[in-house]
Amino acid sequence: MNRPLGILSGCLTLLTGFLLAAPSVASPLPPEPLPLAKTPQVEVSPAQPMRFPNAYGSHPEFPLEWWYVTGHLHDDSGQTYGFQVTFFRVRPTKVWDNPSAFNPRQLIFAQAAIADPRIGHLLTAQSSATTALGLAGAARDRTQVWIDSWRLQQDGDGYRTQVDSRHFRLNLQLQTTVKPLLEGPDGISQKGPDPQNASYYYSLPQLRVRGQLRLQGQEHRVEGRAWLDHEWSDAYLPKGAVGWDWLGLNLDDGGALMLFRMRAGNGKALWLAGTWRHADGRVEYLPASAIHMQPTQFWTSASTGARYPIAWKIRAGSLEFALRPLMADQQFRALASTGTTYWEGAVTAWQKDRQVGSGYLELTGYAKALQLPEAPVTGKTGVPQRSPSP
């Protein structure tokens, strides 16, 4: 999934305040300050292509990494929901050269949301913690990332994710049906003309989902279809980019489509790319010339004033369809975790009157241009923080 570093704009500043204000059971720093540890120099490079099973695990030498699971669910009554579970791992650019268990060498953020058209807006929850003392973590040898009881992990030949918040609770099993889809040759996804604007990126589309959703005090057995993205990078947004538009679509014929465009302040595309896995398994990497994305409907947030293009007419290679949102208000204000405001919502794809796919659309940089500040230097740690919001 196209998640460049910009999505974490403001998150490190927010966490600095949290870390400094949070209680700690012992002072992690001695009276005299220790020197700063050197951080490794890493880059996304064709000389080091993506390899499995290493790719499933965390890559802490890179400053940023994220796991996204999005999908559509329906319960026994036929009611449809959208869901999102996201984990970010952040390595500060400077850390204390301190062997103490209290030293926060990695930071974990999490976001989750439920879209229910009967409610009409997202139900959201957020959590954050450092990896100090095992409060949160991300395993290196397999997908296993957590904050307290929130988690996403490999389970047999699939995955399990769990979120427990004030407004909802999710407990889902995600069964893999296809092999990982590399979002670019050798798993390297180019985000702009500069080779440094790239990430390691793969997707697991067409996940079969079963589990439980507790919503407004009621337990629902649910099943459906989901999409998992895993991406890590050391690159910034391309020069001139304020945000991006991203789509991950599970096609009803068994195929999968990912598209993104990096967007300038005037709304024009700076970079477009896509990946289309056909129903027969053939993978087609789509250049900008093969992609056309035209907004057909806009929604303006009353809380932020941001105007989002929530419906689209899309051409990707020989595939053409109209994209419709499950509901208009799917804005996520992640002010207690990554500090960003964005629109991430459940959508369906249509050819005339026939639905041909379902997935998720992400729109960033509309409320405010994305930028990444310098990571803070901090010597304190804290307990996991939850900030659910309606």
Question: What domains are there in the chain, each with its CATH number?
Answer: 5-23+54-371 (2.40.370.10)
Helices marked H in the chain: 11-21
From CA 301, how far away is CA 228, in angstroms rounded?
A: 28
257-292: pLDDT as tens digits: 999 999 998 889 999 999 999 999 999 999 999 999
Pairing state of beta strands 340-351 and 256-264?
A: unpaired
Question: Is pLDDT above 90 for 313?
Answer: yes
Confidence at residue 229, expressed as pLDDT on a 0 to 100 scale: 98
Confidence at residue 31, expressed as pLDDT on a 0 to 100 scale: 42
Question: If pLDDT is split at 50, 70 and 90, which confidence band does 389 have?
Answer: very low
From CA 105, how far away is CA 90, in angstroms rounded?
A: 9
123-165: pLDDT as tens digits: 999 998 888 777 899 999 999 999 999 999 999 999 999 999 9
From CA 31, how far away is CA 299, in angstroms rounded?
A: 54
Q: Identity (one letter) of the amino acid at 77? A: S
Q: Does 53 sit behind a cis peptide bond, omega within 30 degrees of 0 on the bond before it?
A: yes
Question: Is pLDDT above 70 for 236?
Answer: no
Q: In Å, how far from its chain's centre is CA 133?
A: 25
Question: Is pLDDT above 60 for 377?
Answer: no
Confidence at residue 130, expressed as pLDDT on a 0 to 100 scale: 85
Summary mean pLDDT of the chain: 85
From CA 283, how far away is CA 112, in angstroms rounded?
A: 30
159-188: pLDDT as tens digits: 999 999 999 999 999 999 999 999 999 999
Neighbours of 38 (CB within 10 A): 9
